[in-house]
Amino acid sequence: MFSRKGRGRPGPGRAGRAPRLVLQITGWPDLDAFLQEPDRAWDGGPFAADAHGLLLAHATDLAWLAAAFGRLAGATAAARTAGPVMTHGEPHPANLLSAGGSLLLIDWDTVGLAPPERDLSLIIGEAGEGAERYQEVTGRALDPSVLTLYRARWYLDDLASAVRLFRRPHSGTVDAQRWFDGLAPRLARLPEWLSLLG
C-alpha cells in the first residue's frame, strides 16, 4: 500500500520511531505497463482476456486519471508533509472489534506517519460529514484536496491491483473470481473520478 521507512510497531511514546509513509499506488508498475502498451494481449489465466478487454475499453480514461492523480499529488505535496500524525491506514468497519464494551481498532500493519487525511478519507463522508467535528476537536483544518487525493489513491490502487493480478499468471480461485466480478463496477465509477479530478 505505502512504502515504509523503518520498522516496528509504534506504541505509547514511540511515535518518533513510526515510519514516515510515502504516497504510492501498490500495483503502479503493472498499471503503468498496461497504459504504455494497452493493446498487448494477456493470456496468463482464465480471467486474463476478459479483464484485459474491460480495461482496454477504458485505457484512455485510466491514463488521464493516473496523470491527474500525479498532478494532484504534486500540488498537495507541501500540505501532505506539514505536521504528519500517527495514522492507521485502514480504519474501516472490518478493522473494528467490539470487546468488553469497548470498540477496538485492530490490524495495525499499515500504521505510520502521514497527514490525517489518510485515515479521514475513509471516515468522512463525501459530503463532508464529520469534518467539522474533527476540526473542532483537534483545532486542525483539513485540506479537501488531500482528502480527494487519498480517496483517489484507494480507487487507483484497487484498479492497479486488478491489473497486476490479471496480467500475470493466475488461476481461477475464489479470490480471482471476486476481483474479476468487482472490476466492471469499479470501472463504471471512472466518470465520477474523472469529474472529481478534472
Question: pLDDT tens digits, residue range 26-81?
Answer: 899 999 999 999 999 999 999 999 999 999 999 999 999 999 999 999 999 999 98
CA distances from 166 to 7, 55, 63, 150 (A): 31, 11, 18, 24
Say if CB 156 and CB 66 are below 8 A apart: yes
pLDDT at 85 over 80: yes
- Whole-prediction pTM: 0.85
Half-sphere exposure of 51 (CA within 13 A, CB side): 31
Three-state DSSP at 70 gives helix
**180: exposed, middle or buried (Cβ count in 10 Å: 0-12, 13-18, 19+):** buried
Q: Is the pLDDT of residue 10 over 50?
A: no
Residue type for position 55? L
- Cell representation of residue 28: 503502479
Q: How confident is the model at residue 3 (pLDDT cuts 50, 70, 90)?
A: very low
Supply the Cα-derived Rg of the chain in whole angstroms: 18
Helices (H), 82-173: 117-120, 131-138, 144-167
Q: What is the pLDDT of residue 158?
A: 95
CA-CA-CA-CA torsion sign (102, 107, 109, 110): negative
